[in-house]
Amino acid sequence: MIHNRIIYKLFTSILIVSFFLGCAARDLSYRRRGKGVYHTVKKGQTVWRIAKTYGIDIRPLMRINRLSDPKDLKVGQRLFIPDAKRVLGVKVYIPPDKKRWTAINEEQRSYRAKDVLFKWPVKGKVTSLFGFQSRRKHDGIDIAAPGGTPIKTAADGKVIFSGWGPTGYGRMVIVKHTRNFVTVYAHNRKNLVYKNQHVKSGQKIAEVGASGRTTGPHLHFEIRLKRISVDPMRHLPIL
């Protein structure tokens, strides 16, 4: 019995070590072969946006460039983009100004009066609200639910993203709706839809999980209007 256990442990450690060696070797061979380009980071460009522009996954990009935190990215830094054939222009993130904010708030209010567009994506306890929560701005609400609980799209729309999201979001789905509304579903265990897929309100699109930066399984849900996150509680039916 004891013997078996030792062999098993040895076997799993060999497996883990060879996996990491395999990754390292592949990263090295990418650089050696020079299959790819060097992208010089400009102001406002994030790892996520760079990865998205070149159509690659954020994790190998970070690993190849030995970035442990996306925030470590510096202006002027050269990132190796595997398999890219030429350097591409990466759109930068421009924070909205106050004037635009106010205009959008007005617009949001006028929409709300007309119709309630959205349904609850998950039935569960809201554990964190929108806005400043302990000094940090929270762009959505958190709904606690056991891992594997179905996540349903809040309204009819089209999937514009399904994959690994930016810092901390984990596995994420983004759905675009009418009138410039977008909903975001993050920390998923599993995504069940693909980009450009049309989805009906209430359709199962993912499963609740704890991927990304979380302390436990929950859905991080955002509603964005013209790319700015708004308070989802104002758009969801009162429970």
In the complex, the residues that contact Zn ion under the rule CB under 5 A are 142, 220
Residue indicated by tokens 């709904």: 143
Cα distances (Å, whole numbers) of residue 33 to 11, 51, 60, 138: 32, 20, 16, 43
Q: How near is the Cβ of 139 to Zn ion at its closest, in Å?
A: 7
Q: How near is the Cβ of 218 to Zn ion at its closest, in Å?
A: 7
The dihedral region occupied by 66, where left means phi > 0, alpha psi between -120 and 50, and beta the remainder, is left
Q: How near is the Cβ of 138 to Zn ion at its closest, in Å?
A: 6
Residues ≥6 apart with Cβ < 8 Å to 53: 88, 89, 90, 91
Cα distances (Å, whole numbers) of residue 49 to 8, 58, 169: 42, 9, 14
131 close to 150: Cβ distance less than 8 angstroms: no
Nearer to Zn ion, 142 or 231 (CB): 142
Q: How near is the Cβ of 145 to Zn ion at its closest, in Å?
A: 13
Question: Bridge partners of 151?
Answer: 206
Nearer to Zn ion, 39 or 220 (CB): 220
The residue with its CB nearest to Zn ion is 220
Nearer to Zn ion, 61 or 139 (CB): 139
Q: How near is the Cβ of 150 to Zn ion at its closest, in Å?
A: 19
Nearer to Zn ion, 178 or 215 (CB): 215
Nearer to Zn ion, 142 or 207 (CB): 142
Nearer to Zn ion, 77 or 214 (CB): 214
User: How far is C-alpha 25 from the geometric centre of its chain's CA atoms?
Assistant: 28
Nearer to Zn ion, 204 or 213 (CB): 213
> How far apart are the two ends of the chain, measured CA to CA in Å?
55
Q: How near is the Cβ of 228 to Zn ion at its closest, in Å?
A: 16
Q: What string of DSSP letters covers 78-89? A: EEEEET--S---
151 vs 205: CA distance, rounded Å: 6
Helix (H, G, I), strand (E, B) or coil at 173: strand
Q: How near is the Cβ of 232 to Zn ion at its closest, in Å?
A: 11
91 vs 106: CA distance, rounded Å: 28
